[in-house]
Chain A
């Protein structure tokens, strides 16, 4: 029997980059194929071609052994190909049912929408594949993980057989990710086939039936998850050995750089999100904030960086109060911020890489003299940072919006870490990055700490927090419910704390702790 999907010699050239270079790919019915590759390797491009968003320059696509052409997502859907996008394409103020029926609305007598029929079908799909949702819920009320389920139901509703997931876990909490894997397993068991893109090697090993690795647009090889290990995969991806464990000496922390006392912050609905939080970060120390997303971390970070007004309390940076000060003042005192939502806050997508790299310093020497921007200097700076941080871009004038997700992130990291700072506030600094880049960015963060910078790290990735932090604060429902030395706490205990359960006795790790890495 012919494989359900075959790509032959797919080639796609963008100005300055060969994004896909004669890629061959085979997907068998009922398997999960993991697509691995560095940032900018061309994974998303390949999937966009398959989904009809780009036209390949060369190559052909075969579904069930038959050659087809895909000019638009509609063609793709007709061929049974569906894609779950990283940005969900859902309408928040519609219900699940309405979102699912959108675009192929069934009608009943008199041209009325047949909601009950769709709802019934959703329930059917939902129980068949263990995709729990309530068809009558409004999408805006659903957590991200459930929104993603709605996206999957949309595809199944349209009878897609080939499902593409492009970094689905990047926006999920670890718990939600595990739920997703259960769903994926149940999908393939019932005959669907899946292409799964991720940067997290452990996920690949857990869930994939087969692994394909691409580097710089070309296939470099396949691996069997039963035999491969993370080190080997990382090496295949990056083309060199990757050190998966963060190397970090014990360091004595210096003076207090950031001190927060009884801080109260509310969200836009005046709901208290940060509830009387107090902690300190010292020079040369990394304080990690662990916690399931949505427990006030976002608001805490925004308050510290001046993006959100606090209600009460105290925030001091180097002894000086920065409570409710404007962001520029806080930046100028020597702080840097890697924002959680990079596309919304951290970048201006239609602007070139060079301008984005000076977004916080453009008004200062040497990037401007008086009011005149010094483009030679801005470009020089950009060339240097592109080199140093290995940002894969055709040129400094390329718009940031056309870079791959991981490279967009590197632009922010490069901008924030390249200036002299005493405080780094980093929200999920490695989200969406490949192992090589994670290794590099972790090294840079540790290096900043060694230089005496205070680092506040917020990450829902428990492993990343454990690996990098000197001290760990666990945030739950707006409160810091535990503040621990990183050396002294077992991962399991942290897991419990994150769920709001405070054990009687904080358990210490047994003997030499094996640090599980992020990837």
Chain B
């Protein structure tokens, strides 16, 4: 262990140190805000530049324009990129002109519409927060929960079922009940690989992947069979969730901003509290960092492993519950946009710290929301955006690349040497 943790250098870790005070104050103060943000900012910039090249290279209009003349070609190329990126930004963060105008002249409705892009980005970030937290918690406990996707499906199914099958309950009971059912579903699904690991030593990665397959098929079965919506002719869609179980949206359609975002933030706070302020958290972190020391300290490694996987699964289940209860209001097979797998990247980006995860999730949400708009406005295929996202991610996750491209000084070459200053391990 040790070594890897120490060498990890990313935004999440930096933020983590800033916020939790993992190091003496003097050092914290010395590092400015720019230091924290320079890597992600430059990573995004680099990603955008590479994306621009891709946009130019994949557009037929650009090729056609080049046939006319070099200048026309270049002009078209930059115009296309400009248009696309403008769409990306206004689509995800809103159009500043519109916002100002709405503020000055418009009514409340205009204003809401003007800031809707930001709100929509938050909506898109919400499942990422839950799923990222699930993975982060797992990582802290030394568990590689690659089964978030499956747990998310089971959680969504459980929440949906409670959501439509119970009727006549008041919202303050029905909604939490459905949400908890989702958490429980995810927890159970996550617990299975946890149990297998703790009792038989079976590796959780393999078992999680298997559980994912079972989850896909099982939910397909549910949606086409016991949970299918009557009158859709066998379409894999569930009945609509009762109003009392829906997580409320704050504004009228088309604004989808909902309470789930704040629930996600609350759970991020809860995860932070549990991990860093409770005995259970110390158990989880110790087992995750140095299992031998955990054993020495008398911690119950078996129980901790099972609890870790179950808690991680519960958070994954919440991601699913959130999507069906707050956004879709029913469950369909195309429920997840790969949240489960992106969550691994999110957790790594956020250094498995809840605060880092929130920031990473916001980045993902913004990109995804902006991408949709970009696709609508310009003719750029969404695949380019996926590539863009991936490129940014690679750069954020591998700060060494950014550092060498922009000739930044390595802040902590020292880290690698720490292991040499201590000693004691024979063999």
Contact = CB atoms under 8 A, between A and B. Distances in A.
Among B6, B22, B23, B421, find the residue whose CB has the most chain A CB atoms closer than 10 A: B421
A368 B278 CA distance: 8
Contacts of A167: 423
A181 interface: no
Contacts, number: 151
Question: Do most interface residues of chain B lie in helix, strand or loop, or is the interface mixed?
Answer: helix
Contacts of B277: 372-373, 375
Interface string A332-366: 10000101011111111111100100011011000
A394 B296 contact: no
A196 B1 CA distance: 29
B422 A54 contact: no
Interface in B302-357: none
A166 B424 CA distance: 12
Nearest to A337: B296
A146 B328 CA distance: 67
A166 B293 CA distance: 25
A104 to B, nearest CB: 21
Contact of A398 (B23, B278, B427): B23
B297 A351 contact: no
A341 B424 contact: yes
Nearest to B427: A144
B125 to A, nearest CB: 29
Contacts of B289: 348-351
Among B6, B419, B420, find the residue whose CB has the most chain A CB atoms closer than 10 A: B420
A186 interface: no
B282 A355 contact: yes
A395 B24 contact: yes
Interface stretch (B53-61, B92-100, B129-137, B409-417): B409-417
Interface stretch (A258-266, A400-408, A451-459, A463-471): A400-408
Interface in A35-92: 44-45, 48, 53-55, 85-87
Interface stretch (A309-317, A323-331, A478-486): A323-331
Interface size class of A (residues with CB under 8 A): 35 or more
Interface string B262-305: 00000000000000011111100110011011011111100000
Interface size class of B (residues with CB under 8 A): 35 or more
Interface string B111-122: 000000000000
Contacts of B252: none
Contacts of B23: 15, 397-398
Contacts of A109: none
A401 B418 contact: yes
A339 B418 CA distance: 21
Interface in A92-149: 144
B173 interface: no
Given A346-B293, A350-B289, A397-B22, A373 B298 contact: no
Nearest to B286: A348
Interface string A222-259: 00000000000000000000000000000000000000
A344 B292 contact: yes
A447 B286 CA distance: 32
A307 interface: yes
B32 interface: no
A346 B418 contact: no
Among B23, B24, B297, B299, find the residue whose CB has the most chain A CB atoms closer than 10 A: B297
A340 to B, nearest CB: 8
Nearest to B416: A53
B254 interface: no
A447 B27 CA distance: 40
B2 interface: yes
A328 B278 CA distance: 18
B405 interface: no
A48 B417 contact: yes
Given A15-B27, A341-B426, 16 more contacts: A53-B413, A53-B417, A86-B424, A144-B426, A144-B427, A170-B423, A170-B424, A307-B296, A343-B422, A346-B293, A349-B289, A351-B289, A368-B279, A397-B21, A403-B422, A405-B422
- Smallest CB-CB A-B distances: 10 pairs: A328-B298, A86-B423, A53-B417, A15-B27, A342-B424, A327-B298, A359-B297, A345-B296, A405-B423, A44-B421
Interface of A: 14-16, 44-45, 48, 53-55, 85-87, 144, 166-167, 170-171, 305, 307, 326-329, 331-332, 337, 339, 341-352, 355, 359-360, 362-363, 368, 371-373, 375, 394-395, 397-399, 401-405, 408-409, 431-432
Interface of B: 1-2, 5-6, 21-24, 26-27, 277-282, 285-286, 289-290, 292-293, 295-300, 413-414, 416-427
